[in-house]
Structure 1
């Protein structure tokens, strides 16, 4: 079986980490395959991406057996060639990416989830910045996204102490969007992806770009970007459809254009 399962159904790209016997820990093959699948999600037929894990874990992060292998990739290559390209692809993808965290998300696995646009987690799931346990720093965007999600002090403590954070606590501190019940987790996460896939994809892509820009822009620059991006959104088919549907008191039918 491939280390990642990929399927497009009803405009939703399903990406499933598939090394359950290794708690979906990443090796080089899996990381490169993930990049290929994210590239495939640029297809206009895809309007939402749903990422989850097979088995008990979302992802335990890096497969340490690969790290200690004398013939395996070095740490610098793992970041430059594996994880950083994945994070960049997720943030640049012009459609919503949902992380459905079904179990433990540790190390790079946690930070790949946290860089997604919407993060939901099963009630039994947990998040761990496990890097300090082996003398490393958080990577895969962890030092960028985590302080912006939960604040400097919380992020600093979690990065240094490596505490396990349960899904309900993660929701309370703003690390994730929502906790879903274990019994209905897959169906509920799928329904969220369906909802996003039927929304105005172009507008969502421009929203994502505006949020990306806000991490580097000042106040005035961000206002200017909003003007430019709103002009593009206003020129879309889906804006016209949304307004017309509102005036006609009917449900809009968005095409993602």
Structure 2
């Protein structure tokens, strides 16, 4: 299948999916999100793929949601529907009975951070960083970020990242337990490729079932979280704070939130 937003290839039982919109820092525009979902579904059915690697092209892993597409009024019903559609991407990553490795080559912001968290392992370039940027535009964390971060960090540290929107370096993310390993920028894909190929030679069925068992044990509340998240984000899309946040983002200034 030909993709316009992605680079996809399979070699030595390892499937590589690279988000290839460096011009927009691999932001989750609808076309990229749709193709990513399709590529993951295709890899799920491919018996020649035992392990997947997800990465980005250019200076970002994924800069998050499509703020350009949000630079217009979105009502609560449309916002909820938009989120529920995006949740299918996360559900597919979690459902795959194959390890999915995030090779974070640069910024993982907002929804991009959430996608990385949904993967089974995260390896990060030394110059990369992670940021829960939703608060900076008056939104709630989405694509399961509340669930994943709270499970990993506990409520207090998770809230700190989500309330402040501060950048977290790759080294700090490893210290917190978000990242498995930090690697030099120039060797990231080579090292991740070697790890993926080693895993791909292992017993695919048992690894897939192990993933399913782990996810079943920790994701019991995720579906409820998705529904609450979609409702909350739909409401946030209608606020003055959201419109001010997006406007300030494009005007490259600090937002002036009013609490309305």
Could you tell me the TM-score, scaled by structure 1's length?
0.80
Residues in 2 aligned to 1:216 and 1:174: alpha-carbon distance in whole angstroms: 18
Q: Which residue of 2 aligns with 1:50?
A: 53
Task: Give deviations 1:169-206, integer Å, cap 9, x for gaps.
Answer: 00001011111111211101111111111111111111
Q: Which residue of 1 aligns with 2:43?
A: 41
Q: Which residue of 2 aligns with 1:158?
A: 161
Residues in 2 aligned to 1:150 and 1:167: alpha-carbon distance in whole angstroms: 15
| Residues 216/60 of structure 1: CA separation in 2 closer, same or farther (3 Å cut) | closer
Cα deviation for residue 78 of structure 1 reads: 2.6
Q: Which residue of 2 aligns with 1:134?
A: 137
Residues in 1 aligned to 2:92 and 2:207: alpha-carbon distance in whole angstroms: 16
Q: Which residue of 1 aligns with 2:25?
A: 23
Higher relative contact order structure (alpha carbons within 8 Å, sequence separation ≥ 6): 2
Q: Which residue of 1 aligns with 2:80?
A: 76
Residues in 1 aligned to 2:18 and 2:123: alpha-carbon distance in whole angstroms: 15
Off by >3 Å, runs of 4+ in structure 1? none
Cα deviation for residue 69 of structure 1 reads: 4.7
Cα deviation for residue 70 of structure 1 reads: 6.5
Question: Which of 9, 12, 24 is the matching residue for 1:10?
Answer: 12
Residues in 2 aligned to 1:78 and 1:186: alpha-carbon distance in whole angstroms: 32
Cα deviation for residue 12 of structure 1 reads: 1.1
SS, match of residue 49 in structure 1: strand
Question: Which of 183, 186, 191 is the matching residue for 1:183?
Answer: 186
SS, match of residue 165 in structure 1: strand
If you compute each CA radius of gyration, which structure gives the higher value, 1 or 2? 1
Could you tell me the TM-score, scaled by structure 2's length?
0.79
Task: Give deviations 1:195-254, integer Å, cap 9, x for gaps.
Answer: 11111111111111111121267xxxxxxxxxxxxxxxxxxxxxxxxxxxxxxxxxxxxx
Residues in 2 aligned to 1:3 and 1:26: alpha-carbon distance in whole angstroms: 10
Cα deviation for residue 163 of structure 1 reads: 0.8
Residues in 2 aligned to 1:207 and 1:20: alpha-carbon distance in whole angstroms: 35
Question: Which of 183, 201, 216 is the matching residue for 1:213?
Answer: 216
Residues 216-227 of structure 1 aligned to structure 2 (within 5 Å): none
Larger mean Cα displacement after TM superposition, 124-133 or 146-155:
146-155
Aligned residues between the structures: 216
Cα-Cα RMSD: 1.8
Residues in 2 aligned to 1:216 and 1:189: alpha-carbon distance in whole angstroms: 26
Residues in 2 aligned to 1:69 and 1:205: alpha-carbon distance in whole angstroms: 42
In structure 2, runs of 5+ residues without a counterpart are 221-260
Task: Give deviations 1:79-135, integer Å, cap 9, x for gaps.
Answer: 1112x1111000000110000000000000001001100100001000000000111
Residues in 1 aligned to 2:209 and 2:118: alpha-carbon distance in whole angstroms: 17
Residues in 2 aligned to 1:78 and 1:120: alpha-carbon distance in whole angstroms: 29
Residues in 2 aligned to 1:128 and 1:118: alpha-carbon distance in whole angstroms: 18
Residues in 1 aligned to 2:148 and 2:165: alpha-carbon distance in whole angstroms: 16
Residues in 1 aligned to 2:155 and 2:207: alpha-carbon distance in whole angstroms: 28
